[in-house]
Structure 1
Amino acid sequence: MVGRRALLAASASLPAARALAQQRPLRIITPFAPGGATDALARLVGLRITALTDQTVVVEPKPGAGGDLAMQAAAAAEPDGHTLVLGSDSSLVRNPLLRRAIPYDPDKDFAPIGRLVISWYAIAVHASVPARTVVEFVTWAKAHPGRVNYGSAGPGTLAHVIGEMMSQGLGLDMQHIPYRGANPALQDLVAGRLQFYAVSAGGLLPLLREGSVRVLAVTGPARQAALPDVPTMVEAGFAEYDHSAFYALSAPARVPQAFVDRTGALLGRIMAEPDTAERLRSLAFDPAFLGPEAFRAFLAAERIRWRDIVARTGLTLE
């Protein structure tokens, strides 16, 4: 009799358990320290998810190792529809090509959900560097070997790749200083401990008013409205170093396809909102949404493109 009561009680509790499971927060794991543009991107998307679905979203920063810690945590998470990770061009495309070993497989460990934005980069120097063009910077750096430190948000990130491509391709003796996010590196650029930084522009723009940082060029196909007098890298004569980043949300592999489709559609709705697009542009992000299928095709094409770049340039990262 007791056993029957227990069975009935357990059966009665199943709907409540399912409801409780549905109320679990959705976590978005991010690869860099709080306070930067990528953190703001994740929080903006999370707030819109909550507003549209009533599901709580928790942004969980796991900075370090150029995004490896965040990607590793997401790859190990249960594929139950309660974890997303904010990946980038470095973590989802280049890392396997440029680094000896990474603790995840970007192709096999994740289910692509949606590309969100493209981020243009600013080629910046500290004001103490007497260069106002990229050509002048290259000339100055060659005349001062070993005196140029450049920053990045971690190994393999686009700032590291652009810096190393310029070092190897132009014969510059520059030292790479990795950080746990863009903000700490920007602080050192402002303080003069870094002389050069190819930085995602979102965190940089507010600092330009201080006069301690000078932008020599921007990446992308056209000049940026925020810096209309600054040439593109193509205009500056350095098209081979003209690269921009993308940021995207993925889930652990083996997540139900229904979750992929539903979340992809939701993200598409969010990224189409005019207010959301305006806020993203204020962070120097260009909205560039791709749904699950198109995003998967984009990743495949980017991996081929970067494989060709690495083969052509011989680019390596320590």
Structure 2
Amino acid sequence: MLRRRALLAAPALLLAPAARAQQRPLRIITPFATGGATDALARITGTRITALTGQAVVVEARPGAGGDLAMQAGAAAEPDGHTLILGSDSSMVRNPMLRPTIPYDPARDFAPIARLVISWYAIVVHASVPATTVAEFIAWARAHPGVANFGSAGPGTLAHVIGEMMRQGEGIDMQHIPFRGASQALQELVAGRLQFYAVSAGGLLPLLREGSVRVLAVTGPVRQPSLPGVPTMIEAGYPAYDHSAFYSLSAPARVSPAFIDQTGALLGTIMAEPVTAERLQALAFDPAFLGPEAFRAFLAAERLRWRDIIARTGLRLEG
């Protein structure tokens, strides 16, 4: 009985292989719909955790409400080493500043473990929009108030924030339409029911062969090798909208320090694997691992940066 109690109290990844086989799986809760690049990120990571430790991993998608459903489920989970939460720049940094009614506090409710990757974004319009540059799109949207719709994977996501910053900063009358995941928003863009989308590159690249969308600019400091003819937002003259996303793993607050340290080290090993890096880069993710201590410092700096941006621009989210 004493041995069983000890096993139940131990973090899952610290158990010996035989003991892990008797434990329930480690779950990774994601706030994004299945089938997208972020879902693939969670599954690639989970597969490597299983391969390296023998610990079974399940990915549990809880899309909707701008990530609130998943983050709330993660915050409420037992801190027993059996739950990880796939977070992002929206859920871990901006949401409390832009959406004060969210039902979780990322600084209070989660124990940061690792930043995994960074994803650049692309400013995209439907092919029916007569614009080949960001400036031309802004001019067209101003001349056609109420015509343009822009999509996102939910309130507070970077696509929503970039769209709102452009809408408010450039005086554009366009409507935000949130979806439960990026794949649904992309389908609406391809169908022409969205005219504008600041889309994560992982969802964009497969669409370029179809000819239904046009890329006006990309975020990040340099042009992307996959789109060498497309300027950066800085080159296009709009540095205020030059933002990229990050994706991370955290545990519920109060999880053991041993679990945080060991899981952080394990994730660092996984992100350093050449094969893993290649698979992630094929999804337009740039491996950008930060361990627990460095990730906590990064989050603190990002929260200060976004607090300044929001105060300076007066950014608010609508819809």
Does TM-score exceed 0.5, indicating one fold? Answer: yes
Residue 145 of structure 2 corresponds to 145
Residue 301 of structure 1 corresponds to 301
Q: Distance in 1 between matches of 2:172 and 2:91?
A: 26
C-alpha RMSD of matched pairs (Å): 1.5
Residue 136 of structure 2 corresponds to 136
Does structure 1 residue 170 correspond to structure 2 residue 170?
yes
- Please give the secondary structure, in 1, of the residue aligned with 2:208: helix
Residue 157 of structure 1 corresponds to 157
Residue 42 of structure 1 corresponds to 42
Query: 1:12 Cα shift?
Result: 8.2
Query: 1:217 Cα shift?
Result: 0.3
Residue 117 of structure 2 corresponds to 117
For 1:241-252, what aligned pairs fall within 5 Å after superposition? 241-252=241-252
Change (3 A) 1:13 1:117: closer
The question of whether the paired residues in 1 share the 8 Å contact of 2:33 and 2:39 is answered with yes
Query: 1:258 Cα shift?
Result: 0.1
Residue 204 of structure 1 corresponds to 204
Partner amino acid for 1:200?
S
Residue 230 of structure 2 corresponds to 230
Query: 1:11 Cα shift?
Result: 6.1
Q: Distance in 1 between matches of 2:108 and 2:284?
A: 31
Query: 1:100 Cα shift?
Result: 3.0
Unaligned runs of 5+ in 2: 10-18
Residue 86 of structure 1 corresponds to 86
Unaligned runs of 5+ in 1: 1-9
Q: Distance in 1 between matches of 2:100 and 2:4?
A: 50
Partner amino acid for 1:157?
T
Q: Distance in 1 between matches of 2:62 and 2:223?
A: 33
Q: Distance in 2 between matches of 1:17 and 1:306?
A: 40
For 1:235-274, what aligned pairs fall within 5 Å after superposition? 235-274=235-274
Q: Deviations over 1:266-298 (max 9, x none)?
A: 000000001111111110101000000000000
Partner amino acid for 2:125?
V
- Please give the secondary structure, in 1, of the residue aligned with 2:108: coil
Identity %: 80
Q: Distance in 1 between matches of 2:7 and 2:102?
A: 41
Q: Deviations over 1:14-54 (max 9, x none)?
A: 68878378622100000011000000000000000000001
Partner amino acid for 2:68?
D
Which structure's CA Rg is the greater one?
1
Partner amino acid for 2:146?
G
Change (3 A) 1:253 1:208: same
Q: Distance in 2 between matches of 1:45 and 1:173?
A: 41
Q: Distance in 2 between matches of 1:22 and 1:254?
A: 24
- Please give the secondary structure, in 2, of the residue aligned with 1:131: coil
Query: 1:13 Cα shift?
Result: 6.5
Residue 108 of structure 1 corresponds to 108
- Please give the secondary structure, in 2, of the residue aligned with 1:124: strand
Query: 1:74 Cα shift?
Result: 0.2
- Please give the secondary structure, in 2, of the residue aligned with 1:262: helix
Residue 16 of structure 2 corresponds to none
Change (3 A) 1:231 1:15: closer
The question of whether the paired residues in 1 share the 8 Å contact of 2:65 and 2:154 is answered with yes
For 1:68-79, what aligned pairs fall within 5 Å after superposition? 68-79=68-79
Residue 215 of structure 1 corresponds to 215
- Please give the secondary structure, in 2, of the residue aligned with 1:180: coil
Change (3 A) 1:14 1:165: closer
Q: Distance in 2 between matches of 1:243 and 1:118?
A: 11
Residue 15 of structure 2 corresponds to none
Does structure 1 residue 183 correspond to structure 2 residue 183?
yes
Q: Distance in 2 between matches of 1:27 and 1:12?
A: 24
Task: Output the TM-score relative to the length of structure 2.
Answer: 0.94
Q: Distance in 2 between matches of 1:12 and 1:23?
A: 14
